Every structure is written in structure tokens, then in C-alpha cells.
Amino acid sequence: MFITKNVYFYIKIDNKKHTKNLKVRQRYQEFVRLRLDYPTFEYLSYDHHLSDEELQIRFAFRLSEDYTFYPQLFIPKNDHLKWDRLDRDALNNFVFHLGMVELISYWKLACSPVVIIHPHQLNAQQVAWWKKLYFHGLGEFLYLNGIVVESDALMHIQSQGEPLPTNAHLTLDSNKVIVPVGGGKDSVVTLELLQASDLEVFPLVVNMNPAMERTINNAGISSDHVLRIQRKLDPLMLELNDKGFLNGHTPFSALLAFVSVLVASAAGVRHIALSNENSANESTVPETKINHQYSKSFEFESDFRWFIHHFVDSQINYFSFLRPLSELQIAWLFSGFESHLATFRSCNVGSKSDTWCGACPKCLFTYIILSPFIPLNKLRAVFNKDLLEESGLKNTFLELTGRADIKPFECVGTPAEVNQALNQAFYTTNANPVLLRDYPLAKSTEKDFQALLRLFNDEHALDSRFVSILKNALDVRITKSNY
């Protein structure tokens, strides 16, 4: 067993300003203690079973010799899912990789320095790929716990067992596309634009909620095309969180990526179109790679495309349809789909109650980014108040506009986009809401603003077919709006 003091040698408390906070220092001390108390984390096994109703997947993880976890996934039967397309080896390969990404949520409880993978052997490239995902995907988690650690020292991966099955080479339909739906404005835009094309669209949802269902219904997609996933966390993990084990943000979009590949292969669908914009590439903490949206970034997207091509399913085309656009452009396109305005939701705080909480960074950002394109009386109706009149959101406003040290740890756009939206919406008005009273509004010419809405970032993975759909949508929006 490779466990030595060297495992901890490069781990030290972060000297950044936020670690002066006593609670952050206490979390760091707990991190060190937990690694000593729980030196190993094991991926024991995975299994899957196809019943009359669903494909059932279960994993077994163990934290040292003390705690064992059994997270599960359920994929209900659907006429478009043909599980017999996948032989035993192919299905094992997909499910094993799902376990590798699901493991992150449980491993972070104690950040054990040694991770032992029992089901299959990993080669050096695979180990390096997973270590990069764990390190950057947990960048926010490490930062907020006051931890600086070299990527090589965060975890050591050992693997054993049978060699991994070879990647699948399935025949997939290029006229079909899966669109993961979260219920927010971004997935609305992707779903509506692709539904209007000649592609057959299959919405994919994990743990369906009312906002997701409304988004799909409003887009006019029949329920038989909806691919549903039910993810069930082991309640023991939540119990350990309550007892003081480590907790924090994990790269959910990476889990979604592996789930979508499994479902696409079973459904015979070649394309998986995400709704991540180019703004997701910007770090949350300036001059670092700490990014709340790392698993939505183009870097992760590129890494994932390489990984699945080599080790999972070489025919899958995984990409973000909105990558060439900014949050400002997506808000502009979204404003053209008025039927979604009263029904979409992007607030994580209010997700369980299907509401906008009106007090979080996501709510304020969404309010601001839509303000140049949607009349303020309609925005106030959506959020049940004028969020720019909320003095309690002052610090959040400073973070969103770039006048604080860091951005909010949320899926929000860049300060530049926020400032552009504010200047466009409020410079020529007589409005004087609380949050704008000491904000330096600047004049933006119509020509400059129009140029922003016509930008098309070349850093993307769209093929010519999807580029044409997106560019045509921008052209149509231009002719139908004042911009």
C-alpha cells in the first residue's frame, strides 16, 4: 500500500485572504485530520440489471474500513432505448466509467490520499485524465476549504482487476440529438433552436423537476422522446456531512456527460448538445484556474471528447451547442421565446420549491442579463420584485460587476457581460434603483451593442451543420429585434 508522509508533504494552508477566516482554517485542519484517519478510498464494484421497468445501476464504494456507500442510478424503459444494442462488455465499460465520476461525491468526504480501483485496470493516460478532473473539478471545494495542494499529491490512484473492455464502435444516427435539460434559459434556447431544425430531438433529464417538464412541454416535444435518469445518493453520505465530514461543490456536469453518453449509445443517437456558453471558461477566482463551472468549460469539453473517443464510444459527438455565444447573446435569444418566460427556473436555492428565491447570485445575474431585452415590468413579475432594489444583494452585485475580489461561486456570466447589460438597460432611463446609485453607468452606442450580439467565438466543437443552425438563429433574431 502506497501511503507515506510524502502524501501530505505538499499540502499546506492557503495564504490567500480568505483563509484568515477562522471557519476556513478549521475546515483545513479537518481536511488534514480526515486524510490521516481515512487513508484509502476504494471503488469496490459496479453492477447493472435490466428489469421490466428500468435499467438499474449500483456502485459500491468504501471509505477505509469504516463506511460503505451504494449510490444508484435508474433509467426507465423507453421505446427509443435499445439496451440490446450494447453487448456485455460495452455496457460494463459505460457503467464502470459512471462509477468513476460518481465516486467524486463520496471521495471528497475525507479526500483519502489513496484511491484504489478494484473493477478494472487503468493505464497511465486514464489515471492522468481522472486526476485532472478530480483536481480541477474540485477546485472550488479546495479553495473554500482553505487548501492548496499540488495535483499529484491530492490523490494517488491504484487500479487492479480485469483490463477495461475496448471502446464501443456502434452505428449511431446523425439526424438525432440528445439535449440535456436543466430548466434554465440556456437549455431552453438549445432545445427550441434544435427542435426547429430537421433534427430529431431527445431531451435528457436527471431527476426531473417541474421546470424541466415545463421547458420540454413548452418546446412541443412529446413525452415519449424524453430520456429520464433518476440518480439516488446514498443517505450515509449526507449523514456524514452532518457529522462534520468535508462537503462542497462537485463537477455535476461531468457526471451528466458520462450519463448522456451511455443513453445516447443505447438510443442510437450520435449527437449530444450541451448548453454551455463561452463565458463558462472564465475563472471564478481571478488569476487562477479555480472555476465553479470547470466541467462546463471548453477545456473539460475537449478533454471529455478525447477521452470518450479513445476509451468509451468513438462515434459519440459530445459538444456544447451554445459555446460560440456569450451569456448576453443567449439572454437575447431566450427573450424571443416568450412562452418560457413565466415558467423557466435557474435558481438553485429555490429548485426544490420551484421558485426564484430572489436573494442569490443566480437570481440577480439572470435579472440583470435579461434586462436589456425584456421590459422591466415583466422581469419584476417573474421574480415578484425588482431585484435591483434589494439592498441585501449589494455584495453580490459587487461580485457580479467585478468590483469584488472574486465572482460568486455560481453559474453566472462574466463581469464584462453584466456591466454591458446594465449599461444598455439603464444608461438612458430615469430609473434609480438602490444597487445602481453608486454604480458608474457608461454610455454604450447601439453600434457597439449590436456588435456584441453578432459575435461568434471560434473556440468550439460544432460541426458545420450546427454552426449553420446557430448562425441562422442569430440572423433571424436580428431581423426581429431592435438590435
pTM for the complete prediction?
A: 0.93
User: How many structural domains compose the chain?
Assistant: 1
- What does the alpha-carbon distance between residue 273 and residue 275 come to, in Å, rounded to a whole number? 7
Mean pLDDT, the chain, integer: 91
**pLDDT value at position 2?**
34
* Cα 154 to Cα 73, 356, 376, distances in angstroms: 28, 37, 48
Structural domain contains residue 9: no
Neighbours of 468 (CB within 10 A): 12
Q: How confident is the model at residue 164, as a pLDDT?
A: 85
Q: Which residues of the chain have pLDDT under 50?
A: 1-19
Inter-residue contact 188 to 334 (CB < 8 Å): yes
Q: pLDDT tens digits, residue range 141-181? A: 999 988 878 888 899 999 998 888 877 778 899 999 999 99
Q: List, in sequence order, the alpha helices (H) in 196-287.
A: 210-218, 235-242, 252-267
Looking at residue 482, its pLDDT comes to 66
Q: How much is the pLDDT for 71?
A: 98
In a domain, 104, yes or no: no
Residue 267 lies in a domain: no
What is residue 171's predicted lDDT score, i.e. its pLDDT?
87
Q: What pLDDT, in 10s, does the model give residues 294-307?
A: 999 999 999 999 99
Q: What is the pLDDT of residue 359?
A: 94
Let me know if residue 393 belongs to a domain: yes
User: Closest Cα partner for 226 from 272, 181, 266?
Assistant: 181
Give φ, ψ of 147 to 5 degrees: -115, 130
Q: Which residues of 141-172 are buried (b: 16+ CB within 10 A; e: fewer)?
A: bbbbbbbebeeeebbbbbbeeeebbebbebeb
Residue 243 neighbours by CB distance under 10 Å: 8
Q: Do the Cβ atoms of 7 and 31 come closer than 8 Å? A: no
Q: Is residue 252 part of a domain?
A: no
pLDDT at position 162 is 87
397: domain range?
A: 346-444
65 in any annotated domain: no
> How far apart (Å, rounded) are the C-alpha atoms in residues 115 and 408?
31
Q: Sign of torsion, CA 264 267 271 275? A: negative
What H or E segment, with its residue span, contains residue 115?
strand 114-117
Q: Report yes or no on 401 lying in a domain.
A: yes
- Asked whether residue 378 is domain-assigned, the answer is yes
The DSSP H or E segment spanning 32 is helix 22-37
